[in-house]
């Protein structure tokens, strides 16, 4: 059992850190050239019919920023042995992603539209 913990924890931290890198690249550099966007563009999109209209990328890019802001402190918390905070922040990020996957409602995108309305 201890061997499993010694293997699983570094692997889990690596996976969390790699997703944080994807969040950061997507939020700060380019949504179009992110890993998941490229995978979608090369594998899924060719099998779909042409879209009637394209949507604005700013809400989705803001959602990636929200994911980064929640997940980056999580990996830092794990690194300094604040596991409860790390698990809580990771659960929040995974929960938001699960809501999007199950319902199609992007909570980060909704937050973007709420903040834009307040600014206007």
Checking if the pLDDT of 19 tops 80, the result is: yes
User: How would you write 78-120 as a 3-class SS string?
Assistant: HHCCCHHHHHHHHHHHHHHHHHHHHHCCCHHHHHHHHHHHHHC
Residue 97's nearest CA partner among 14, 11, 2, 22 is 22
Task: Tell me the average pLDDT of the chain.
Answer: 88
pTM above threshold 0.95: no
For residue 5, the model assigns a pLDDT of 56
């Amino acid at each position: 059992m201890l061997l499993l913990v010694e293997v699983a924890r570094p692997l889990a931290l690596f996976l969390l850190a790699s997703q944080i890198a994807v969040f950061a690249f997507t939020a700060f550099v380019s949504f179009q050239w992110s890993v998941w966007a490229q995978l979608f563009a090369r594998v899924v999109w060719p099998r779909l019919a042409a879209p009637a209209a394209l949507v604005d990328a700013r809400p989705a890019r803001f959602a990636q920023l929200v994911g980064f802001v929640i997940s980056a402190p999580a990996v830092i918390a794990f690194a300094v042995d604040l596991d409860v905070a790390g698990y809580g922040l990771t659960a929040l990020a995974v929960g938001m992603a699960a809501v999007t996957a199950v319902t199609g409602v992007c909570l980060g995108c909704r937050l973007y539209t709420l903040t834009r309305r307040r600014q206007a």
